[in-house]
Amino acid sequence: MSGFNHVNLKKGMRILTLTFLLNCTVAFAQNYDTNGDYVQTFAGSGLSGYVNGVGVNTMFNNPSFMVADSKSNLFVWDSGNFIIRKISPDATVTSIATNFNLSINYLGGMTIDRNDNIWTASDGQPNSMNSAITLSEITGNTIVTNIPLPIYSAGLVGICADSLGNIYIACGNTFVPNKIYQYNTNGVLSVFAGSGNQGHVDGNGIFTSFNTPTALACDQANNIYVWDSGSYFIRKIDQSQNVTTIAGNGFGISQQYQVDGVGTNAGFYGIYQMCVDDSGNLILACGLSVRKMNAQTKVVTMAGTFTQGGYVNGFTNVARFGGAYGVCLSQGMVFVTDAGNERIRQISSNPLPQVVSGANLGIGTFAGVTITGIVGRTYQIQSSPDLSTWTTVATVLLTSSPYLWIDQNPIAGNKFYQAMLLP
């Protein structure tokens, strides 16, 4: 590394400070190429039942929500068996002992916090407007603390955790308040967003409205994403409690309105669980498909189709799901509960290695860019060989400031960079 270059770039009224790390020498393997997203089975035989074991020599009964801990263990709500199953990285399936296995018959959502504690939100009487929500914390896979909450739902509950340990709960339908609540680390419950009026109004905090919010997810900058299922929109709530609509055309009343695209040009019919990767991509379990929305709100289908179900392993649109209801990230892969096929599926980027020509090891010179900006906002990084023609090379969600980004393409000749704060 020969030195640093510092430059201030002014975009409108905003000043971004970028630091360039020049001549950063990195060794990289050249053994394999990337084949694209590929779906295969991780656990489950395809037969409905309750059998622990390894991989395909196991049985599930309508697996739905799923989370992963920091040790790459998966935890699955096996709804037909009323139990949480644990799947280790080697695909060994066991059942975790909890005192609510026999007392809860409906689970509205499941998440995991920064300390690997599992949280669930349950409604003991689904479809009843007078059914209170119980928040449960599971520590060490065995100890359960049940927390009755003074809020009500009718089987429509979403839950997620932020990096600070706060828990967010979505509940509501046509009979009860459509609100997003925060249960903080001091055990205090408060309304985070939503007036309680049914509708679709962006704004701040309680001066907003939702229409049956369900699935929730949180990114590294603690932005909360909401599937507003009655309006067919994906909404975003930042830590200042500003609510904005970022994706969905609002016409999801049937499968035919599902479409990939950018922002409000994309269409959704149903989203059952969401999660966010380290790059700010939102991964969506959509029943017959698994979809991804990047930081620029571009929505693409990772695997499956909008209208054809079944059970097929394979690349992208060749793959088929019988009911992708749960999704989480672990070991650099996407894991999906396929309830209709009684299996846990995995989506990996290049499971079938292809040997490429050339040396097995190369030395390249890369550029590092440090951005000093607004945490929680999205920036577009552009490069140019001559300060005249600019090409977009990355879109990043700032999870810290300063934020270090490394150009994955080796430098050849001059290369200049600039960053732009996106709306």
Asked if residue 51 is part of any domain, the answer here is yes
Closest of 338, 319, 209, 316 to residue 260, by C-alpha: 316
Cβ 114 vs Cβ 165: under 8 Å: yes
pLDDT for 337 equals: 98
Q: Do 43 and 145 fall within a single domain?
A: yes
Same-domain status, 49 and 15: no
Does residue 19 sit in the same domain as residue 153?
no
- Whole-angstrom distance, CA of residue 183 vs CA of residue 104: 21
- Confirm whether 411 is domain-assigned: yes
Number of domains in the chain: 2
Distance CA 249, CA 313 (A): 30
- Residues in the chain, total: 423
Per DSSP, the chain holds a count of helices (H) and strands (E) of 0, 35
Domain check: are 364 and 308 in the same one?
no
pLDDT value at residue 364: 61
Which one of 111-125, 128-142, 328-342 scores highest in mean pLDDT?
A: 328-342
Q: What is the pLDDT of residues 212-266, one digit of tens each?
A: 999 999 999 999 999 999 999 999 999 999 999 999 999 877 667 789 999 999 9
Clarify whether residues 24 and 118 are in a common domain: no
Contact in structure between 374 and 401 (CB atoms under 8 Å): yes
Q: What is the pLDDT of residues 139-186, one digit of tens each?
A: 987 788 888 888 877 667 899 999 999 999 998 765 567 999 999 999
Q: Residue 390 belongs to what domain range?
A: 3-31+359-421
Return the sign of the alpha-carbon dihedral for residues 403, 408, 414, 418.
negative
